[in-house]
Structure 1
């Protein structure tokens, strides 16, 4: 049943019209400005933007699971995962200690004003956006534990 629901989510999401990634600046953990479109624009590279928050347990589970197999994914695909925290000013101070404690091998960006989140009409985390050549190819809301392998198969098909 879980696989059917996941497949249905993939099919429904893939059927949506493709749109361009917005041209916005976010902050890195070392407080540098990063342009979400131009700084991640290597031709034919797949960028996986994972929207998360420190207070979101499914987000942390998803990012931990992806981190465990990220090296294998990068061996097989020209791929980069960018974890985008949507923590606001109140909870944002928790991001750096959490990331340091998890030792994720991702680029982590901060969307503290939630400008990118709003521009993509994201309701709540976890939310994943797959981009190639500046075009959004796939979006996925939520996380199903253990679905990383199905997600990787979807990435390979793009």
Structure 2
């Protein structure tokens, strides 16, 4: 009986670890209402940043604004793409597109009003950023934001593409 429990525990741990190494098989909508299958997201062999935010989260908005200031340079050097995931609940979803438009964020924006992706990845606090390498493996996770933290994020992006 003890061996069965240990085997069961090992399988659960293995599944948990595996679930956190790639994006889960979930479908979210983008701000235009189009469905996006997360486990098939690709940046054609280049790194991908997934940034969790909410319209009401001041540090999240500062982080996305700071990245926007250097995003074109990052893309030119590494080909990175950023996908911003709003965790605003359904009653606030209508505030996401105006915020994105107002800040002229060039990011693809997905909506996670039921926190499905947030839960699947074990995100506790926002802002929360994940970097995926060109093969779709999660290679870096970070929560919180302080001014200048985008420099560390960019170093992780360069590592993810071998620079």
Greater per-residue strand proportion:
1
**Counterpart residue number, 2:45:** 44
* CA displacement, residues 76-99 of structure 1 (integer Å, 9 cap, x when unaligned): 102100000000012212111111
Match of 1:151 in 2: 153
- Give the TM-score taking structure 2 as reference length: 0.82
In the TM superposition, residue 154 of structure 1 has moved relative to its aligned partner by: 2.1
1:51-130 matches, within 5 Å, as 51-130=52-131
Unmatched segments (≥5 aa) in structure 1: 1-15
**Aligned-residue RMSD, C-alpha:** 1.6
User: TM-score, structure 1 length as denominator?
Assistant: 0.85
Structure whose alpha-carbon radius of gyration is higher: 2
Shift of 1:35: 0.9
C-alpha distance in 1, partners of 2:150/2:128?
Answer: 14
Deviations 1:107-134 (A, max 9, x none): 0110111100000000121000111212
Greater helix content = 2
